[in-house]
Chains A and B, each alone.
Chain A
Amino acid sequence: MSLAALPLLDQAVLVLAAMALFSAFALLAQSRLLAAIHVFAWQGLLVAAVAALMGAASGDVNLYVSAAITLALKVLLIPWMLHRLLRRLALERQADPLAHPALTLLAAAAIVVFADWVAAPVAQFEHSATRNVIAISLAVVLLGLLMMVVRRQALAQVLGFMAMENGLLLAAVASTHGMPLVVELGVAFDVLVAMVLFGVFFLQIKDSIDSLDVDRLSQLSASIEQDEEPEPRP
């Protein structure tokens, strides 16, 4: 099946989804936090565009609303909050290089192949464009999780978490013509609250261990790991 054989709208959706997947890779490999936030904003924009295009294809108002919410939250509000957080924590120039970049990207490629293989049996969609989008969105979710595993900087982990959410939204938009509006609003609100909480947490973590390196969080439990008091003998 060639891309050119599909209707123009589907072609556009597929291209945008592919770009979202590319942005997930970029997010994974981008070591500078500031640039990573920008990539995340671009990914949000791409997802919002997919939602809007699907809305245009189906004429469903819900999808427009969902595109608008994504645009407002993922593209504008959350990147702005992250920016502000970065400035408050004085991390603008902070880089968080990967330990094994080549290995990580190979693993990411393997995950994409895996996601495509997992999504292959989803054959009840006669629409082949949709099926590809499902594979892509699954890959985006898994890449977000992978990003949380490989990145040590807490802020980068938040980006991974948000990217996972983007992947979920992409899947929902592509396969079911959008979630019900109530769910959509709830998820958006959840993400916002999570963002606020993350911000508070980071300030606290920074205060207590003077770093946002999550590997150093394990030191917090060191004080508990001491052996129990020796047994008093009568």
Chain B
Amino acid sequence: MSAAALTLPLAEAAVLAALASAAVSPLAARWPRALSLLAFPLLGLAAVCALAAGTLALGFDVAQGAVLPLGLPWLPWQLSVDPLAGVFLLMLGAVLLPVSVYGPGYAREFRNGRDSLATLGVSTGLFVAGMLGVLLAADAYLFMVAWELMSLASYFLVCFQHEHADHRRAAFVYLLLAHVAGLLILLAFGVLAAAGGGFSFAAMRAAHPDALWAAIAFALALAGFGAKAGLVPLHVWLPEAHPAAPSHISALMSAVMLKVALYGFLRVTFDLLGVPQWGYGVTLVVVGSASAVLGVLLALQQSDLKRLLAYSSIENLGIVFLALGLAQIFQAAGHPALAALALLAALYQALNHALLKGLLFLGAGAVLHGAHTRSLDRLGGLLRRMPRTGWMFLIGCLGMAAVPPLNGFVSEWLTFQAALQAWRLHDGLLRILVPLAAAALALTAALAATVFVRAYGIAFLGRARSRSTRHAHEVGGGMLAGQALLVAGIAVAALLPGPLLGLLGRAALQLTGSAPAGTGWLWLTPLDPATSSYAPLPILAVLLAVGALGVLLLRPRQGAAVRRADPWDCGYAPPTPRMQYSAAGFAQPQRRVFAPAYALRETTAADRHEVEVGDRTWVWLYRPLGMLADRAADLARRAQAGHVRRYLAWSLITLLVLLWIVS
């Protein structure tokens, strides 16, 4: 049996391992160590299997399918693995493995609390199994079952610490939007199944619905998967739910679940729907740019570390969808090579976001574990007290800020390379729109850098702003090892983008029919060497050389006297930690410049200044919707008031109307 034939069995083994992890978790109610000795290692096994399956699927370009003896008698569940699923299996494995190493240390904190460890383990196992199921499903039925399993399990994880009222509210908002999203996706599959005459993806792929129905399916899929992926304006659950969940779960939700939604969207739009349309592309570019800009602007104003990361996820997914829009536009315009490049940029951005955001959420969990607070206004100076976490968090921040030679730069650079080829398009509107999107992307990149400078500077540099932070301690070995694994993944993605892009190119080939060129191990030349090229290893070498030179030149001479003294303090009272730059103060200029984007409320009293930065979508979209729902409920209640005679009158009217209709 060749290695390629092992792909699907390995993927199935991953699902079984995740289910087994859920099955053994009830033991934790009696024996708390079951979680760290059984449940998390099983999740690690699932991660290794998923990694192996993903690598094999991409490496050997396999497409394997199987029919399970499960499901309804006339509608058996079908599985398949192809390069597209392989990309996401790879992402899932790459994040789940560190999480399973990190998890035991983090969950130890809950042992003495009121929260049920068994619930945590069961929900995590089912959550992972659901995500794997979505990736492996080859028919809409299994896809929806796995999708709902993923949504419901993650709901229980969000409301895990349900004694906090805001966690319950976050979980409710999440459940509501997950339900709406599930409904929309179901309808999208309904449209496709009606055209294809069956629920299997093969049947849907073979059929081509007419333009109107295809557009309806696209809109439903975009709204459904977009809600799960956190696209504006359906993103509101994300900044609520991610901080509420335990940190390793936030890492899984942000790094993997959003990508599973992306996978679903890619599967429906690029694979099942088939015919590319420039209209789809424009929609994606507009929605993606809006999400990216709004996400980063809101991230800039958050004072809760995990909330900040959640808004940054919205920004990153916005960039991914922007790149997908470019791919759709280029494909519709007959430039498959450029479409493949844009798609590759989207996939690489997704992979990088998974690794970086996984690392940052694990880091935020470590901060929460060590300093017992997530609020930037209470952190500070953590680099001194938690040096290892601090350095690894720095790597994550640099990556998110897209600084070379880290991997965030590679994917944004690729996106720009695709966007800057807009001159090849013939449509004047698109030739204007695409550079505008590129400008939005540039703005986003600059603001993202600010976001992470602010987050890192406030939390890890300076002096501690609270007592608990002053007494922060470094986290244990397992939690550090989990973060270190992600740093290793980031190093691979940052320094060897060529081979990785070559692997991901198989998925681009599957979807666009063209594989990108110029993915050598040293030089990355996606278009042609004269236009642009990138080589991370030489850049790293130059950076290291310059850094070493600097250290060498600036190092105090041997034996020179070093005087230690307080810096000049202008003769005023000695500075206290409260005099440092605050989180709100750092972001004040952007708050002024971009004021129309925020729902601001500032109050200034004699001795204090309060700023509340809200999300405009709540004011513009959700509050009116909520009022509308309230009013509808009021009307329904008036009809349903418990008056017997009113019910009878409804029956009489219904009867009369029905009689009138039949005659």
- Which positions in A face B, CB cutoff 8 Å? 111, 114, 117-118, 120-121, 142, 145-146, 148-152, 157, 214-215, 217-218, 220-221, 231, 233-234
Q: Which residue of B lies closest to A231 (CB)?
A: B165
Q: Assuming the A-B contacts A118-B663, A121-B663, A149-B645, are A234 and B655 also in contact, with contact meaning beta carbons closer than 8 angstroms in the complex?
A: no
Interface residues as binary, B194-223 with A (CB distance below 8 Å gives 1, 0 otherwise): 000000000000000000000000000000
Q: How far is the CA of A231 from the CA of B169 in the complex (A)?
A: 11
Once A145-B655, A231-B165, A234-B163 are accepted as A-B contacts, the answer to whether A221 and B642 lie under 8 Å apart by CB is yes
The distance from the CB of B49 to the nearest CB of chain A, in whole angstroms, is 40
Q: Given A121-B663, A146-B652, A152-B645, list of 6 further CB < 8 A pairs?
A: A145-B648, A150-B645, A214-B644, A215-B644, A218-B643, A218-B644
Residues of chain B with a CB closer than 8 A to A214's CB: 643-645
Are B656 and A148 within 8 A (Cβ)? no
- B164, B168, B655, B656 — most chain A CB neighbours (10 Å): B656
Q: How far, in Å, is B641 (CB) from chain A's closest CB?
A: 6
Is B648 in contact with A148, judged by CB distance below 8 angstroms? yes
Interface on chain A toward B: helix, strand, loop, or mixed SS?
A: helix
| Most central of B165, B168, B659 by chain A CB within 10 Å | B659
Is B648 a contact of A149 with CB atoms below 8 Å?
yes
Does B542 sit at the interface, judged by CB under 8 A? no
User: What are 8 A-B residue pairs whose CB atoms fall within 8 Å in the complex?
Assistant: A114-B659, A114-B660, A118-B659, A118-B660, A151-B645, A215-B644, A217-B644, A218-B644
* Pairs A-B, 10 closest by C-beta atoms: A218-B642, A221-B642, A214-B644, A149-B649, A118-B663, A149-B648, A145-B652, A234-B163, A148-B648, A218-B643
Q: Tell me if B651 counts as interface (CB < 8 A to partner A).
A: yes
Shortest Cβ gap from B127 to chain A (Å): 25
Which residues of chain B have C-beta atoms less than 8 A from A234's C-beta?
163-165
Grouping DSSP codes into helix (H, G, I), strand (E, B) and loop, the B interface class, with mixed when no group exceeds half, is helix
B contact residues, range: 10 to 19
Inter-chain CA distance A156–B660, complex, in Å, is 28
B656-A142 in contact (CB<8A): yes
Q: How far is A180 from B253 in the complex, measured between Cα atoms in Å?
A: 65
Residues of chain B contacted by A146 (CB below 8 angstroms): 652
Separation in Å of the B103 CB from the closest CB of chain A?
Answer: 25
Closest-CB distance, A215 to chain B (whole angstroms): 6
- Roughly how many angstroms separate A118 CA and B643 CA in the complex, as a whole number? 30
Considering only CB atoms, which chain A residue lies closest to B640 in the complex?
A221
Q: Which residues of B contact A121 (CB under 8 A)?
A: 663
Bound-state CA distance A231–B656 (Å) is: 46
Within 8 A of A (CB), among B616-663: 641-645, 648-649, 651-652, 655-656, 659-660, 663
Bound-complex Cα distance A221 to B641 (A): 9
Residues of A within 8 A of B163 (CB): 234
Q: How far is the CB of A11 from chain B (nearest CB, A)?
A: 27
Nearest residue (CB) in B for A160 is B648
Do residues A145 and B663 form an inter-chain contact, with CB atoms below 8 A? no
Q: Which chain A residues lie closer than 8 Å to B660 at the CB level? A: 114, 118
Q: How far is the CA of A220 from the CA of B644 in the complex (A)?
A: 12
B655 to chain A: which residues have CB within 8 Å? 142, 145
- In the bound complex, do residue A117 and residue B649 qualify as a contact, i.e. CB atoms below 8 Å apart? no
B643 close to A215 (CB less than 8 A): yes
* B642 pairs with A217, CB closer than 8 A: yes
